[in-house]
Amino acid sequence: MLRFGTDGVRGVAGRELTPELVLALGRAAARVLAAEGGAFLVGRDTRLSGPMLQAALSAGLAAEGIDVVDLGVLPTPGVAAVAAARQLPAAVISASHNPYLDNGIKLLAPGGHKLTDAQEETIESLLAGPSGRADARAGAGLGRLTTDVAAGQGYCDSVVAAMEGRRLDGMRVAVDCANGAAVSTAGVILAAAGADVVAVLGDSPDGTNINAGCGSTAPQALAAAVVREHADAGLALDGDADRVIAVDDRGEVVDGDRLLALFARDLHERRRLAGDSVVVTVMTNLGFHRAMAAAGIGVVQTAVGDRYVLEALESKGWSLGGEQSGHIVFRDLATTGDGVLTGLLLLDLLARRGEPLSKLAAAVMVRLPQVLRNVRVADHRGLEAAGPVWEEVRRVEEELSGDGRVLIRPSGTEPLVRVMVEAGTEAAASGAADRLEAAILAVLGSP
């Protein structure tokens, strides 16, 4: 049975995410999210399987009498922005930072918001039953399929408007579009804001090279370009451009934790940080928490996934949250993470501060060494009851004595246990991770 993860439904296109399944998902989404006789927006990234799955989803929507508006290749935040402007539900055909063989369906409620648990559960229950219906539509009762590729320009304009009239003239920037959905928007937005785009990487998608050795998961080529072109900063996006990893003027990577710390401090000092608090996930580095405490900024922690960050921001009425992976949410400006918006606001921060990113990023927080392990096991579902594992966790935490932390959690999609250890030194973190990995394998077994 299809199950929603933290960011929609994903799988190997054609094998797990089949056209038949996606057609049924379209019918179910129409019944739950769309108004009778209404419309539904659909956009996608550059994967080879995108048009196939978009056609299947659109067929399911149209079979329920819903008009489908094809937005073409457009980043997830772009689709969300159009949905917000038109108060319509939407879908994005994308698997974000995953390789091209994977694909996914991200559904957005009317207004461009992530689905609630209740909405996801209702859609899943409909998929468990028959896909057809006794009162099947025909003729004029079927939905119409139209295209509106110009809608992307409105999204670009809205991102530039976040600058509040300020300009980036003289700012040199390199950008890596990950051979993904931002190929037609990132350069346009940066140039419109006045930036001098001195290098563009990952801008030749062929359907199979999305995220392949480029983008936010592989920023090495971008780092080299920043140094070579004497750029002020580099922006590495992912396949659907809802996240960004930055590169400073020295070619050093600046992850989501440091970006979020920079934005939180800047907004706090300008009295524009709602609630004087920021929302993060359990993966956020302990150094971030310490830096925010020193600055008088509150921190609320959620489970991994930008949907949980968004839920917390909405419930508290706060303005800023994000993840170490580079999902940064400016709730006053967007309904989801937006890599290009984040990059633009980072450049604006640099221009206003008049200092290089390398200096600002180094000063904003001291990052504790963090070791991540994906431990493949025979059955990760037994983790909760694995007493010896949790006893080893307790011993490690006692040894760290508040100068580090441990996080162990089962993967939501694979037979993996994810281990994260932070400690005062890389050696201490690695040694603790070794012990925890051994304890996990001893109880849960190798695959």
Predicted pLDDT of residue 401: 86
Percent of the chain with pLDDT over 90: 87
Phi and psi at residue 154, to the nearest 5°: -60, -40
- The verdict on residue 429 lying in a domain is yes
How long, in residues, is the chain? 447
Predicted pLDDT of residue 2: 62
Sort strands 113-114 and 102-109 into parallel, antiparallel or unpaired.
Answer: antiparallel
Residues 59 and 173 in one domain: no
Local confidence band at 132 (pLDDT 50, 70, 90 cut-offs): low
Task: Tell me the two tokens of residue 45.
Answer: 């990234």
Lowest mean pLDDT segment, chosen from 9-18, 45-54, 134-143: 134-143
The 3-state DSSP class for residue 28 equals helix
> Active-site residue numbers?
96
Residues 140 and 273 in one domain: no
The whole-number average pLDDT for the span 219-229 is 98
Residues 314 and 375 in one domain: no
- The verdict on residue 193 lying in a domain is yes
Distance separating alpha carbons of residues 175 and 422, to the nearest angstrom: 31
The whole-number average pLDDT for the span 269-297 is 96
Task: For residue 279, list its beta bridge partners.
Answer: 300, 321
Residues 390 and 249 in one domain: no
Compute the mean pLDDT over every residue in the chain, rounded to the nearest whole number.
Answer: 94
Lowest mean pLDDT segment, chosen from 1-5, 53-57, 223-227, 373-377: 1-5
> Are 46 and 179 a contacting pair, CB within 8 Å?
yes
Domain total in the chain: 3
pLDDT digits (tens, 9 = 90+) for 40-89: 999 999 999 999 999 999 999 999 999 999 999 999 999 999 999 999 99
> Are 349 and 270 a contacting pair, CB within 8 Å?
no
Residues 131 and 214 in one domain: no
Residues 193 and 235 in one domain: yes
Predicted pLDDT of residue 219: 97
Percent of the chain with pLDDT over 70: 98
Distance separating alpha carbons of residues 138 and 64, to the nearest angstrom: 9
Q: Is the pLDDT of residue 275 over 70?
A: yes
Distance separating alpha carbons of residues 365 and 371, to the nearest angstrom: 18
Predicted pLDDT of residue 133: 64
Residues 118 and 73 in one domain: yes
CATH of the domain at 403: 3.30.310.50
Q: What is the 3-state secondary structure (H, E, C) of 185-206?
A: CHHHHHHHCCCEEEEEECCCCC
Q: Extract the runs of DSSP E, i.e. beta strands, from 84-232.
A: 90-93, 102-109, 113-114, 145-147, 172-176, 196-201
> How is 425-438 classified by DSSP, letter by letter?
SHHHHHHHHHHHHH
Predicted pLDDT of residue 323: 95
The domain in which residue 435 lies consists of 370-444
* pTM attached to this predicted model: 0.92
pLDDT digits (tens, 9 = 90+) for 325-369: 999 999 999 999 999 999 999 999 999 999 999 999 999 999 999
Distance separating alpha carbons of residues 371 and 419, to the nearest angstrom: 8
- The verdict on residue 1 lying in a domain is no
Burial string for 373-387 (b: 16+ CB within 10 Å, else e) reads: bebebeebeebeebe
The 3-state DSSP class for residue 359 equals helix
> Are 182 and 237 a contacting pair, CB within 8 Å?
yes
Residues 200 and 219 in one domain: yes
Residue predicted with more confidence, 447 or 436: 436
